[in-house]
Amino acid sequence: KTDFINFISDQEWKSIEPVSSWFGPSSFLMSSMSALFQLSMWIRHCHGYLTENVGIPVWGSYAIFALATLFSGLILGLVSEALGLWLL
């Protein structure tokens, strides 16, 4: 606490360079990181629901998420190819 008070009162903060706009809290990069963190928390919540409330074994929950990942990749790949062909 004392170090922080000295940091402010001695104005040592003036010698520190500001954070780059890439790493600012409202930047696209940090917003994307936040969205990925929220997605991981949602996946964790779904895993807990599937294993605790529905009664699916842990390996079954992992299999569901693996299949969902494969199918979402397949759909995104097909959409990107269709857009690529359409734009040609």
> What letters, b where the CB count within 10 A reaches 16 and e where it falls short, cover 11-39?
eeeeeeeeeeeeeeeeeeeeeeeeeeeee
pTM of structure? 0.63
Q: What is the pLDDT of residues 3-32, one digit of tens each?
A: 989 888 888 888 888 777 777 778 888 899
Instruction: Please state, in angstroms and rounded to a whole number, the distance separating the CA atoms of residues 51 and 24.
Output: 38
Please give the structure tokens belonging to residue 15. Answer: 């010698």
pLDDT tens-digit map of 17-75: 877 777 777 888 889 999 999 999 999 999 999 999 999 999 999 999 999 999 999 99
